[in-house]
Structure 1
Amino acid sequence: MTTIGVVSNTMSSPRVARSQPADRVRVALRRGREHRRWRARVADLLEATALLTLVLVVVQFFLGGGSHALMDGTAGDRLVGVGRIVGLVAMNLLLLQLLLAARVPWVDRAYGMDRALKAHRVLGRITVPLVIVHVGAIVLGYDVRDGSGGVGGAVSQFLTLVTGGDDLLMATVATVLLVVIAVTSVSIARKRLSYEWWHAVHLTAYAAVILAVPHELSIGSDFTASSWATAYWWTLFIVVAASVLWWRFLLPVLRSLRHDLRVAKVVHESDDVWSVTVQGRALSRLPVKAGQFLNWRFVSPGLFLAAHPWSVSRRPDGHTLRITVRGLGDHSAALAHLRRGTRVLVEGPYGAFTTESRVRRRVLLIAAGIGVTPVRAILEELVVERHAAAGDVTVLYRANDASQMPLVDEIARLTHAGGHALLPLIGPPANGSWLPPLGDGSQDSVRRRELVRSDAERLRELVPDVARHEVYLCGPGPWMDLVRKGLHQAGVPEKHIHDERFSW
């Protein structure tokens, strides 16, 4: 049976002024426009800089005599030349990959951490094949030069190169590590690996880069062919190393020590959902916003070795932080048994799923499953900080069953306090739709009505003038794909749809 309705405004609500000053809304929208312009400028600058580094690498190769090897050399020389330039490009892309995953704030705020990591994965699919081409072209080139020929000759050349020095042996190990990382990044392999094992394997990317450095900066290599080439590569190595060291390791440790986060309480929300509230020192100085997530590590047996990304499920108030977690695995289920006072280490905050880029007065919040957590925090921010006029926010909360709607009572109180609307959408999903089926539940009724009703049409009925809303969306990945499709068909421009994806 389908349930679609607006939650009654009779339940108790927090003390929030019902009048929403228009100037607060105008200020919020003006800041949103300024932030969008900032994001566009920073994104353009970052992309132009990345492209410039690739151009510099290619120019450096040709100025260092690479054009002679490719144009005028023998067949063997040309193969070696191809291997050389491909190796330079591959290392440059690998370092850019590490920067994308270094949690640099400007990258995070411009793109969002999920999109930055997606670009990181895309570059990985390019970089590893280039590294293999680099090794293969050089081995074949030397084989052709020596006239060995055949598979045996190529293998002999490879073994000769590998044993030609410690730097080449380390570079070979680095290549093997990169291949292992690439293999474990394939979707089939990811499904068989736990997050903890996948994360541990990917940390070896740092070891791969470190092992490759002696070979790259050895005397006579293309990385040290000229003073400016040496300066370029040393600068890039230092920038990447400093970024990773500071943003991934030192800053999280310093923040965790400074704020001294401890578990304050654990609340059982439903059969498999728990909320964990933490408190600490000077939390008003931790720059976390509603909608963002942190990587949480609890100093408790069985939990300490892995950090997991969970969004704050309540607007940060400067005193406490709260996450709400569904027990999808042994790690998340173990949070139910955390003891008061357990120390908490955090990395972050991360993510661009915030109202910073909001430029429209009306807001549509769509959530499913545990994806409700950042949506609930954003709603609280809009209500408490009075950044939305009464009636300008609509919350669509999707679930197969009413028992699968954690935090729904809190959301109902917040929408009531702000004069907004909550529309629960309850029932098994219709085929190919993110919405429950229409009709009285009978197969004939559902089939007859679904033939003439698209998701876009139903969305327009649920949310009049939906095309004029700023939309925030969080839930399972395939479900979000269907929602985005419906939103596009209903006339919502892509730039006004915001989501966050936590797939790894």
Structure 2
Amino acid sequence: MLLSKTKLWILLGLYLLFILTAAVVTVLSSPGVFKFDALYKFGQIFGVVSLSLLVVQQVLSARIPLIEKNIGHDRLMRFHHLNANFILLFVLAHPLSLFFRPLFSGRIKIFGLVKSFGLGQWLGALAILLIILIIITAVFSKRLGLRYDQWRKVHLVAYVVLILGFVHSYMIGSDILTRQHLYYWWWFLAAVSVSALFYLHIVRPHRFKKSIYEVAKVEPNTHDVTNVYLKPLNGKKLDFKPGQFAFITIYSKAVLREEHPFTISASPTEDHLMFSIKSSGDFTANVHTLKEGDRVKVEGPYGVFSIGDHRGHFVFIAGGIGITPFRSMLRFVADQHVKVGGVAQEITLIYANKTKEDIAFREEIAAIKKSSKWLKVVHVVGGFVTKELVSAEVSNIKRTKFFVCGPPPMMAAVVGILNKLGVSSNYIYTEKFSLK
């Protein structure tokens, strides 16, 4: 499934409309304030918008199927990061706008202002400090040496921030207490927040409580990539599209019991699930020691990174373990012998690795290429995907759809190359498999 740019613009428009609605509701609740202190009123607007965007952040994190299906988890996470930046901006602007005039006019000193704070103001100040903490740990997680599980635990503080935000706004918001327009907006936000919380912690666990698999086989793919084959305990395999991913939790003494996202490298045409996992951290280092019969919870599928039934020429550009969604798609096309209008889909795979030993699925890709006329494979070993390489290997570049998956720096470089070659952004699809 390919996500149209039109749909993205519509979603962006709805997001901006949501922010505008929060601002307008705040103004309508006490329009007279603008006449004698516009800056103070802007401070109120920034506060209400901050709380509103915190609720949006909660909804984005709830993995609601309707949203996931129409946007894709990868884009949701990018939007999640962007929304976090806006939250920080509005949260900092909120107190600065409220207290700018009295502080800089000399009517009150900073210590006098702090001394006058009641419980509501202190709760708001605590919320701001926690938001700064969350964003710092998100931006500098690698420099701080935070593991994925530690990073996720810090993000749970966002629930505390949300509660503090609601209590703070209710305690000091006169427009809420007097049942002005803000009163109804506050309850609307509270209802959305509780609904998202209910889905995340009640509905979603119930949906996937029977999605338990057991390890059927564990085999090496390369020197640092392991294939883990799973079969469902209830006999019903996950229904997914080639290229999608799932969150898995492994119940084994060999690895930490925590949830992680991995691409499903198996094809929907196969009778098992397969995850091809590279050893790159505390969680993945011991995946190769899993035993047959170990239990695994699988939640998914997620993502829209798939060619589906679209026709035409596709170019897959993979870097390292970024080959996993393409293995799923290639196996699917090979098994189904997909043809549209009597003409087989044409696929060019450009696969970059540091060494030959790093090439995952090397023999299988070679076998598919040998038995088909629709696949062209170009290996890049010890080098980089360049503008010259893409130009030489891909004909009719501007009418070709490009799928790119690999380490973030590699994807950024490839997208830059495609832009220089005149490829429309509508024809470039990426999958970022790091959610941090």
Structure 1 segment 76-475 matched on structure 2, within 5 A? 78-140=38-100, 147-148=107-108, 153-161=109-117, 164-165=118-119, 167-187=120-140, 192-218=145-171, 220-226=173-179, 228-246=181-199, 248-281=200-233, 286-301=238-253, 303-317=255-269, 319-356=271-308, 359-388=310-339, 389-390=343-344, 392-429=346-383, 434-435=384-385, 455-475=386-406
Cα distance in 1 between the residues matched to 2:235 and 2:68: 21
Q: Which stretch of structure 1 is more off in the superposition, 130-139 or 86-95?
A: 130-139
Partner of 1:497: 428
Judge conservation of contact 2:213–2:230 (CA < 8 Å) in 1: yes
After superposition, what is the alpha-carbon deviation per residue over 1:140-169, rounded to whole angstroms, capped at 9, x for unaligned? 556579933xxxx313322431xx23x444
Residue deviations 1:62-90, cap 9 Å, x none?
2222x4323224xxxx5533321210111
The match for 1:448 is none
Greater RCO (CA < 8 Å, at least 6 residues apart):
1
Letter in 2 for 1:257: K
1:258, 1:305 → 2: CA distance? 18
Question: Do residues 40 (structure 1) and 9 (structure 2) align?
Answer: no
Q: Match for 1:387: what amino acid?
A: V
Distance across 1 between alignment mates of 2:220 and 2:142: 34
Structure 2-normalised TM-score? 0.89
Which has a greater percent of helix?
1
Q: CA deviation at 1:472?
A: 1.7
Q: Is the 8 A contact 2:46 2:93 kept in 1?
A: yes
* Structure 2 runs not aligned, ≥5 long: none
Query: How many Å separate the matches in 2 of 1:53 and 1:391?
Result: 41
Give the aligned residue type for 2:149.
E
Give 1:275 deviation, angstroms: 0.7
1:140 touches 1:154 (CA, 8 Å); kept in 2? no
Answer with 1 or 2: which has the greater Rg.
1
Residue 377 of structure 1: how far off its partner (Å): 0.3
Structure 1 residues 391, 183: CA separation in 2 closer, same or farther (over 3 Å shift)?
closer
Distance 1:98 1:220 in 2: 22
CA shift in 2, pair 1:346/1:241, >3 Å: farther
Change over 3 Å in CA distance of 1:339–1:366 after alignment to 2: same
Secondary structure class of the residue paired with 2:51: helix
Percent identity over paired residues: 26
Query: Quick one: distance in 2 between partners of 1:226 and 1:49?
Result: 26
Aligned-residue offset at 1:116: 1.7
Query: Which string of whole-angstrom CA distances, capped at 9 and with x for unpartnered residues, describes residues 370-401 of structure 1?
Result: 11111100111222223244472222222222
1:61 aligns to 2:44 (yes or no)? no
**In 1: Cα distance, 2:175 partner to 2:425 partner:** 44
Contact 1:40 1:110 in 2 (8 A): no
- The offset of 1:287, in angstroms, is 3.9
CA RMSD of superposed structures (Å): 2.8
Check the 8 A contact 2:313/2:347 in 1, yes or no: yes
- Residue pair 2:211, 2:298 contacting (<8 A) in 1 also: no
The 1:333–1:195 alpha-carbon spacing in structure 2 relative to 1, beyond 3 Å, is same
What is the one-letter code of the residue matched to 2:313? R
The runs of at least 4 aligned residues of structure 1 exceeding 6 Å deviation read none
Alignment partner of 1:71 out of 29, 35, 41: 35
**AA aligned opposite 2:418:** L
* Residue 462 (structure 1) shift: 1.9
- CA–CA separation in structure 1 for the residues paired with 2:47 and 2:123: 15
Separation in 2, partners of 1:465, 1:56 = 45
CA distance in 1, matches of 2:179, 2:105: 26
Partners of 2:173 and 2:427 in 1: how far apart?
52
Preserved contact between residue 346 and residue 374 of structure 2 (Cα < 8 Å) = yes
Unmatched tracts of structure 1, length 5 or more: 1-31, 436-454
> Post-superposition shift, 1:492?
3.1
Query: Which deviates more from structure 2 when the two are superposed, residues 199-208 or residues 303-312?
Result: 303-312
